[in-house]
Amino acid sequence: MKDFEQSAGPRGFAFASVGAGFRYKDRDDLGLILSHTPAAAAGVFTTNLYQAAPVVVCRQALERSKTARAVLVNSGLANACTGDQGLDQCRASLDLVGRAVGLSPGDILPASTGVIGPRFKDGAWLSAAPRLAESLGRSSAEDVARAMMTTDKTAKLVSRAAALSGGEVRVLGLAKGAGMISPNMATMLAFVICDAGVDPDWWRLAICACAGESFNRITVDGDMSTNDTFIALANGASGVCAQGDADRDALRRALAEVCRGLAYMIVRDAEGGTKVARIVVSGAKSRAQAELAARAVGNSPLVKTALFGCDPNWGRVVCAVGRSGADFDPARLTLRFGEAVVFRDGGPVPGDLDLVLKPIMSRPDVDIHIDLAAGTGEYELLASDLSRDYVSINADYRS
């Protein structure tokens, strides 16, 4: 496997990005990822009952066809909770961009992120579409990743190469996200492109499974957006097909690595965040029970603020697990921070725990392992800390 900086991108794709002025000034806020040929297409979306116009339109496109040619993404305005007019604007944008780049509107999958409620200004897409077409092939994947940023501090890209029986294939992922993260995706957009030939039905199953192992296992603030979108395209431009079980397993591993890498980068870039907590719950009666415990800890403001302050307040973790709804015997729980066991058999272990935990809590990545000793269920969650800056960023988001 290769990192993004060391690996050429997937073959058969081109990129475009421009500044359309939807909300931001003096920066790109509109991007396009285009496959030179029809690509197997898959999507995973927010489960919020309020689904943004691009989510509705994208889902409809994927229900009509197993292939697509492009992803169109804008930042600044979410086009969410905008009614029928928002749907009309989304479809009109696909028509304008499609005519500019020579594609059918139905071949373009839309995604948006930004402020909920406002609609696009009249004429914004009309002027942006031809400039986007002129940019096609002159921009990079990183340009698109930057164009879709909102409160993100950095662009997020991860690439891997997988060796299949017929040769090498490449996978590239782009994502944005820093707040409103949890659960079942996040205020995040993620796009994965691949040059392998794949069975479209398998591709959709694989992408759904990868989302469950990555983007659905992160939290910043326990909130969920109206726009969460994860789209994946595989166009076969490498000439290498994932045909047998071994090939598919290798490709799936590469996909999973890309998605987990992007998910980690989202938590690392959390609004105001300074730490990533890796919360592992084991010994639960079921996976669902383990998830209850992990999310109670990862979403606890008290745990998160303790992480920010490097405060070894392990009691907040025990308390969160106790109220999580998971079924276990409190006298059997074992809690470990990093390599240090701090709680066992219903009480703290002997010793100066503050002294033991101080260097562990000062790390940028903190491992928290909770063993419920009630079964075989396991769950892993990545969570950010909670800082003063998070409040400031979100208090001033629209100003």
Quickly tell me which residue has 């691009």 as its tokens: 54
Average pLDDT over residues 86-109: 98
Check if 4-268 and 276-395 are the same fold.
no
Side-chain-side CA neighbours of 21 within 13 Å: the count stands at: 9
| Contact between residue 350 and residue 258 where contact means Cβ atoms under 8 Å apart | no
Closest Cα to residue 204, out of 37, 43, 63, 56? 43
For 74, residues 6+ apart whose C-beta sits below 8 A from its C-beta are 20, 22, 29, 30, 31, 111, 112, 113, 114, 147, 148
> Mind telling me the catalytic residues?
187
With 60 as the cut, is the pLDDT of residue 397 above it? no
Strands 340-344 and 67-77: unpaired
- pTM (predicted TM-score): 0.91
With 60 as the cut, is the pLDDT of residue 6 above it? no
Average pLDDT over residues 137-142: 96
With 50 as the cut, is the pLDDT of residue 4 above it? no
The CATH class for the domain spanning 4-268 reads alpha beta
pLDDT, mean over the chain: 92
Domain residues of the chain, as ranges?
4-268, 276-395
Determine phi and psi for 146, rounding to 5 degrees.
-75, -35
Q: Where are the beta strands (DSSP E) in the chain?
A: 13-18, 30-45, 67-77, 108-115, 156-164, 167-176, 189-194, 218-219, 229-234, 276-284, 334-337, 340-344, 347-348, 365-371, 377-384
Task: Say which DSSP state 82 is in.
Answer: -
CATH level 2 (architecture), domain 276-395: Roll (3.10)
* Dist CA 162 CA 181 (whole Å): 29
* Dist CA 116 CA 280 (whole Å): 34
| pLDDT tier at 3, thresholds 50, 70, 90 | very low
Task: Say which DSSP state 385 is in.
Answer: -
For residue range 264-320, what is the model confidence (pLDDT) as tens digits?
A: 999 998 777 789 999 999 999 999 999 999 999 999 999 999 999 999 999 999 999
For residue range 210-247, what is the model confidence (pLDDT) as tens digits?
A: 999 999 999 887 667 899 999 999 999 999 999 999 99
For residue range 188-212, what is the model confidence (pLDDT) as tens digits?
A: 899 999 999 999 999 999 999 999 9
| pLDDT tier at 325, thresholds 50, 70, 90 | very high
* Dist CA 399 CA 394 (whole Å): 10
